[in-house]
Amino acid sequence: MHLSSLTRGFVPAVALLVTCAATEARAQIIGTWPTCAFPSGNPTFASSGSTNALHKELLGKLLFWDEQLSTDRSMACASCHDVLRGGNDKHGGVQHPGFDGIFGNADDTFGSPGMVRSDSNRDFTPDPIYGVDRQVTGLNAPTMIGAAFFEKLFWDMRAGPDFRDQSGAVVSGFSSNAALESQASGPPTSPVEMGHDGILWSEIENKLGALFPLALATNIPATFPVLPGVDYQQMFDLAFGPGPVTREHISIAIAAYMRTLIPNQAPVDLGTMTADQVAGLELFRTRGCARCHSNGGVIEFNAATQTFTDPNDLLFSDGGPHNIQLVNHSTFPASFPGGVKAPTLRNVGLRKRLFHSGHITSVTQAMTVHYNNPSTPLAVRFNPILSTTPPGPGLKSEFDQVVDFLENALTDPRVANGVVPFDFPTLHGDNVPFGSNLIGPGSPGTGGLIPTMIANAPAKLDNQHWRIGLGNALPGALASLYFAPALQPGQVIGGVPFELDSGLAFVSGTSTVGPNGTVTVHQAVPSGAGFLGLELDWQWVVADPAATGGLAASRAAQMFIF
């Protein structure tokens, strides 16, 4: 199929780019809302509306949703940034010990589950906090929706305004308004989010070109340019011209896609807010919230016409750092001068976790615990406190009006429903969630620990980076990896629960458990259509004198080649 077919059927995207090209964007802290996010000072602006710009955008759309970008092909950018959750983590967060490193106190945060830690050889190694479970990011995932309008990104604002290469030099043409490019270059080499200890960009660059886009995904919308036989190298050549896949081109493409995620069709944009929502906005803007959630500390709003004097106020963030004095979450490390970046409140009603800490799970809870709490310092709460008593039958209280405004008037229905440009495929990690392929109880060894099966790398045809591991085993012991093409759950052999079909099982290999209690086996998944659908079942058995009968066993892992 000819590569020109890649642009066929993408009229909405082209129309968006052409409209943006006709609108001059100002280079300022938060851009110009709700005009397009192609600010001057960034080469993307100069080429917007062109076929070349569209190719970058569509390539970035593929990369953002592709788990193949990660070390073992288990994590995509979208794994932590779910559209239907307003760009927040769909998992609702996993507990992290917070800045003090101690679990179980009020400083704890809720981050996103990422990679099982592995070393520079991609061998699994225990993490000091999470062992051989998935590591967790230290902060709640901020949204990528509308992120294009901010000069700096991340909670500590470390990304932007420029985009630099690995030597620290500014990439030509990206000296300003390039926070998206800067941000996009981070997660692929984070050993927590998508990479491993010591990972180099060259590892990602060298593998990506030969891969076929979204090879692990299902339910791929027609707006994604996935064509038979077209690999990433061809996609990069189309977007950037012939040449190698580079860190800079990967980041620029992902940023180009994120610039299309403009949530400007909420009721607050269309002038369709209800009377209660308008009243909620009036309370929001007049009782302290505009201090952080406006362009200049004041929101000028005409309630009769539902219009704003300054369209930049529609971001509902000033893009700057603030310390709103959250109880036990107000002390930040040196990288957080002045506090954390005020998030946009767009689609906040869809998010599972709020604030950088993620310890709040709803707008109502945020209002109750912090913003409408008399014990919260005056400068960072509603003043005066909102009434929670309805003024009459069928009427909402001030409290409920503000919640209605935040949860509903700021929600773009295209985001809530996953409609273009917020459409998406189904990730392999959603079809087969982490740990969902494990069967049986396992049996404990030394210290009462059950050896941990680590089997989350997808068994995709010709996956050259497939691996399977073992953790929490007796150091120095012999560990045998059994394989069978079928399960037989519930067996007990030699006192050990054995979940594989015993008539078909054999020892695939035997390894000595490392001093950190782990083993990693690396091998390629077979290639060839004849292997499609083949069942692969695995279980570790460890020679451990402290175990019942001298053997400890992991749970079994079931996989199918696809």
Residue 127 lies in a domain: no
Q: Are residues 202 and 331 in the same domain?
A: no
Of 263, 286, 317, which closes a domain? 263
Are 164 and 75 found together in one domain? yes
Does any domain span residue 67?
A: yes
Q: Which residue has the tokens 């983590």?
A: 89
CA nearest 561: which of 522, 533, 523?
533
Do 182 and 323 lie in one domain? The reply is: no
Rounded CA gap, 259 and 13, in Å?
A: 11
Same structural domain, 246 and 303: no
CATH number of the domain enclosing 358: 1.10.760
Q: What angle do helix axes 232-240 and 247-258 make, rounded to 10 degrees?
A: 80
Q: Which long-range contacts (CB under 8 A, 24 or more apart) does 371-380 make?
A: 371/289, 372/399, 376/325, 377/325, 379/288, 379/291, 380/288, 380/324, 380/325
For position 7, what pLDDT does the model report?
Answer: 39
User: Is residue 328 domain-shared with residue 258, that is, in the same domain?
Assistant: no
Of the chain, the end-to-end C-alpha distance in Å amounts to 23
Residue 53 confidence class, pLDDT cut points 50, 70, 90: confident
Cis status, amide bond into 34, omega within 30 of 0: yes
**Residue 43 DSSP SS3:** helix
Domain count, the chain: 3
Contact yes or no for 296/317 (Cβ under 8 A): no
* 418 part of a folded domain: no
Three-class SS state of 234: helix
Mean pLDDT within 108-127:
97
- Whether residues 354 and 489 fall in one domain: no
Confidence at residue 164, expressed as pLDDT on a 0 to 100 scale: 97
Of 236, 263, 290, the domain-final residue: 263
Q: Which residues pair with 500 in a beta bridge?
A: 487
Q: Please answer whether residues 479 and 542 qualify as being in contact, where contact means their C-beta atoms are separated by less than 8 angstroms.
A: yes
Query: Is residue 330 a contact partner of residue 322, using CB atoms and an 8 Å limit?
Result: no
Mean confidence (pLDDT) of the chain: 90
Are residue 456 and residue 517 in the same domain, yes or no? yes
| pLDDT higher than 50, residue 192 | yes
| pLDDT bucket at 91, cuts 50 / 70 / 90 | confident
- Could you tell me the sign of the dihedral formed by the alpha carbons of 311, 315, 316, 319, in that order? negative
By C-alpha distance, which of 140, 138, 80, 147 is closest to 360? 140
pTM of the model: 0.92
If asked whether residues 11 and 145 sit together in one domain, one would say yes
Residue 98 in domain: no
Statement to judge: residues 34 and 179 lie in one domain: yes
Q: Which two tokens mark 375? A: 């014990």
Check pLDDT > 80 for residue 156. Answer: yes
Report how far residue 129's alpha carbon sits from residue 97's, in angstroms, rounded to the nearest whole number: 8
In angstroms, how far apart are the furthest CA atoms of the chain?
79
Reported as a single tens digit per residue, the pLDDT across 267-311 is: 999 999 999 999 999 999 999 999 999 998 999 999 999 999 998
Provide the pLDDT for residue 44: 58
Q: How confident is the model over 225-259, as pLDDT tens digits?
A: 999 999 999 999 999 999 999 999 999 999 999 98
Q: pLDDT, tens digit, for every residue of 195-223?
A: 999 999 999 999 999 999 999 999 999 99
Whether 184 and 70 share a structural domain: yes
Domain residues for the domain of 187 are 3-85+140-263
The answer as to whether 237 is a domain residue is: yes
CATH number at residue 156: 1.10.760.10
Instruction: Judge contact between 258 and 150, C-beta under 8 A.
Output: no
Q: Is 345 exposed, middle or buried (0-12, 13-18, 19+ CB in 10 A)?
A: buried
Model confidence band, residue 36 (pLDDT cutoffs 50, 70, 90): very low
* 203 and 304 assigned to the same domain: no
Q: Is 116 a member of any domain?
A: no
CATH code of 552's domain: 2.60.40.10
User: How big is the chain, counted in residues?
Assistant: 562
Q: Evaluate whether residue 198 is within a structural domain.
A: yes
Between CA 372 and CA 117 the distance in angstroms is 41
**The tokens of 240 are what?**
């950037």
Last residue within a domain, chosen from 246, 263, 280: 263
Structure-block tokens of residue 151? 């000069």
**Is residue 526 predicted with pLDDT exceeding 80?**
yes
What are the start-end ranges of the E strands in 401-517? 438-439, 452-454, 467-471, 478-484, 487-493, 496-500, 506-512
For residue range 316-351, list pLDDT tens digits in order: 999 999 999 998 888 777 778 889 999 999 999 999
Whose CA is closest to 71, among 192, 231, 233? 192
Give yes or no: residues 388 and 503 share one domain. no
Report if residue 304 sits inside a domain: yes
Give 49's pLDDT tier (boundaries 50, 70, 90). low
Residue type, 307: T
